[in-house]
Amino acid sequence: MAIISSNPQPLKPGDSSQPGLFSDGMLKEPSAKRTSNDKSPHSSAAKEPLLEPEAKPEERSQQEERLRPRRLSEYIGQKDLKEVLDIAIQAAKVRQETLDHLLLYGPPGLGKTTLSLILAEEMGVGCKMTTAPALERPRDIAGLLMGLQPGDVLFIDEIHRLPKVTEEILYAAMEDFRLDVTLGKGTSARTRSLSLKRFTLVGATTRVGALTSPLRDRFGLIQRLRFYEIDELLQIVLRTAGILKMPVTDEGATEIARRSRGTPRIANRLLKRVRDYVQVKELGNLTEAIAAEALERYNIDPLGLDWTDRRLLTVMIENFNGGPVGLETIAAATGEDAQTIEEVYEPYLLQIGYLNRTSRGRIATAAAWKHLGYTPPDAQLSIL
């Protein structure tokens, strides 16, 4: 089961493949070179994995751990959220209480797991980490809850995927720090209540709307993570470059920041790729030109759009004259899953102003038409 304690070692590698930093297929020829008005066929081989916000198996282990900020003061960006948490932490410390249960939501790679580890660190408590699909049987969650020390953080990733039985056990645990267990079966079944140590549940989800309201209502704090601005990503890239002992210029780091889809995990991944490139080519300091050259080689679009983003927009433009077009229709036309489109792709396209959501459906904006090399129709321009 994927239960991992943050103390003293934050994460155990979940899989055995541990490629070295430079061994993971670096400098492979990029798959088919794509132009700005790409109309390439629907083939997953053309997808650009570097821009996927989810952690790859090798990143889930030590590589990503090394780069995680440990304290709130090192955590870059998310200013409002940090303020809320800082106050909550200080208040809890003064009152010598545990933190309120906290629900963090937002797209992958923005720092939810990192924040939960930071919270535990700041509170001086342990952090047990698990993911909702691993809590299939009542005894999975019961074992975890029983093992918590006073004040500990219990982090449940993908909390919208909790099995119903587990969720019901959590209600009493979150509210009254009580564990109701049923002993025996059928008519002889009895329920016993065990008291638990006070703890803080930190739930993370990309789909806050998929949580049931009884579960959502039991969180004292519900906070959203936002995409990062370029200047924040710049700081993240510079910080990571420092940890990796890699000389970079601000302009070189900005070039990486710009292509990172507002997502720290992607920024760090691109930086590592650029580092491979610089090292193999013996280029020395990372300048803007070198960063751009390297990222172009890996087929990273100047705005961080990936193959699927481009395909979604292209289909909207070519087949539906830019919309409005319904989500399900886009999904059917592109062969992508509607939920993935909504949760993974749309947030970034909305953020950079390439997509609008209206009551009649999605619209590709004039900026998107232009970026993909199309001339927007007059009607499109007038909407904007």
Ligand X SMILES: Nc1ncnc2c1ncn2[C@@H]1O[C@H](COP(=O)(O)OP(=O)(O)O)[C@@H](O)[C@H]1O
Q: Determine the residue with CB nearest ligand X.
A: 111
114 in catalytic set = no
Under the rule (CB under 5 A), what is the footprint of Mg ion? 113
Provide, rounded to whole angstroms, the least separation between the CB of residue 211 and Mg ion: 17
**Would you count residue 10 as binding ligand X (CB under 6 A)?**
no
157 in catalytic set = yes
Provide, rounded to whole angstroms, the least separation between the CB of residue 73 and ligand X: 11
Q: Token pair of 32, please?
A: 């088919």
**Would you count residue 108 as binding ligand X (CB under 6 A)?**
yes
Provide, rounded to whole angstroms, the least separation between the CB of residue 229 and ligand X: 12
Question: In the complex with ligand X, which residue's Cβ is closer, 122 or 315?
Answer: 122
Question: In the complex with ligand X, which residue's Cβ is closer, 76 or 144?
Answer: 76
Point out the catalytic residue in the list 68, 128, 130, 157: 157
Separation between Cα atoms, residue 324 and residue 355, nearest integer Å = 10
Separation between Cα atoms, residue 122 and residue 70, nearest integer Å = 9
206 in catalytic set = yes
Question: In the complex with Mg ion, which residue's Cβ is closer, 98 or 206?
Answer: 206
Provide, rounded to whole angstroms, the least separation between the CB of residue 116 and ligand X: 8
Separation between Cα atoms, residue 203 and residue 131, nearest integer Å = 9
**Would you count residue 144 as binding ligand X (CB under 6 A)?**
no
Q: Which of 10, 203, 252, 264 binds ligand X (CB under 6 A)?
A: 264
Residue window 30-69: x/- pattern of binding to ligand X, with contact defined by CB under 6 A: ----------------------------------x--xxx
Q: Which of 110, 312, 316, 330 binds ligand X (CB under 6 A)?
A: 110
Point out the catalytic residue in the list 98, 130, 166, 206: 206
Separation between Cα atoms, residue 345 and residue 305, nearest integer Å = 9
200 in catalytic set = no
Point out the catalytic residue in the list 98, 113, 308, 314: 113
Contacts of 24 (CB under 8 A, 6+ apart): 58
Point out the catalytic residue in the list 239, 259, 265, 275: 265
Count Cβ atoms below 10 Å from residue 372 Cβ, excluding itself: 22
Separation between Cα atoms, residue 226 and residue 152, nearest integer Å = 26
How many residues touch ligand X (CB under 6 A)? Answer: 20
191 in catalytic set = no
Binding residues for ligand X restricted to 194-233, rule: CB under 6 A: 204
Separation between Cα atoms, residue 224 and residue 78, nearest integer Å = 9
Would you name the residues annotated as active-site residues? 112-113, 157, 206, 265
The residues of the shown chain that bind ligand X, judged by CB under 6 A, are: 64, 67-69, 75-78, 108-114, 204, 236, 264-265, 268
